Amino acid sequence: MHLGAFSIIFIGIVGFVSSQNPTNQDAMQVNFLKLSCPLPIREGVARNVTFTGSTLSYDLEHGIDINNNPANNTKDFVGSYFLCGEDNDFTASVTTKEYSAENNFGFPLGWFGYTSDTITAIVQKIVTMLTIMTSFLTPVNFNILGYTLGDLGAVATMAVITLYIFCYLMIAIMIYKVISPFSGVG
């Protein structure tokens, strides 16, 4: 039980210290930008998009067609699609898409585009969240006093990875002891 608690503290400290190098901080900022990027808007055009720090703000205008004119027919309305952190740059932009488009038979092609863009954005957010967790909880970005895994010799690298494996094993045993009704907490 105590080794599990120590393992959590150890991995937390090493993860925090390792994430303090400037390269990793820049990558984390881009990942947090991707995570906070808005989902597509089915009907509404984002105008006056400003990007300050890690905040994206915009004004939403409804009832606009693809040529930026007021539209009277709902099938001519366009939506907004946000692009954040493209090419791992700390940038954000917005494009318009015809999410209300229909073909000649009334088939809602735009709805399928909106649904696929939304699912894609959600999957990208999940991947970004896993990337952030991986960066913090694994020795991939191990960096203590400027020494990375590439700077360490083979034996030292194996020792660091073995220490991480040991810590995760102790955490798993601790979780098992807490959850299992047959083992007790002792």
Residue located via tokens 């970005």: 141
Least confidently predicted of 87-91, 103-107, 140-144, 161-165: 140-144
* Highest-pLDDT range among 11-20, 48-57, 89-98: 89-98
Instruction: Using the Cα atoms of residue 76, residue 80, residue 86 and residue 91 in order, give the sign of their dihedral.
Output: positive
In this prediction, residue 118 has a pLDDT band, given cuts at 50, 70 and 90, of very high
Residue 145: phi and psi, rounded to 5, are: 55, 35
Helix (H, G, I), strand (E, B) or coil at 83: strand
CA distance 61 to 159: 57
Helices 2-18 & 154-179, crossing angle to 10 degrees? 130
Contact status, residue 1 vs residue 58, Cβ threshold 8 Å: no
* Average pLDDT of the residues in 35-54: 83
Per-residue confidence (pLDDT) for residue 21, from 0 to 100: 62
Domain borders along the chain are 36-125
* Average pLDDT of the residues in 69-82: 79
Structure confidence by residue, pLDDT tens digits, 16-40: 666 666 666 677 788 888 888 889 9
In this prediction, residue 184 has a pLDDT band, given cuts at 50, 70 and 90, of low
* pLDDT at residue 154 greater than cutoff 80: no
H or E, element range at 4? helix 2-18
CA distance 74 to 103: 14
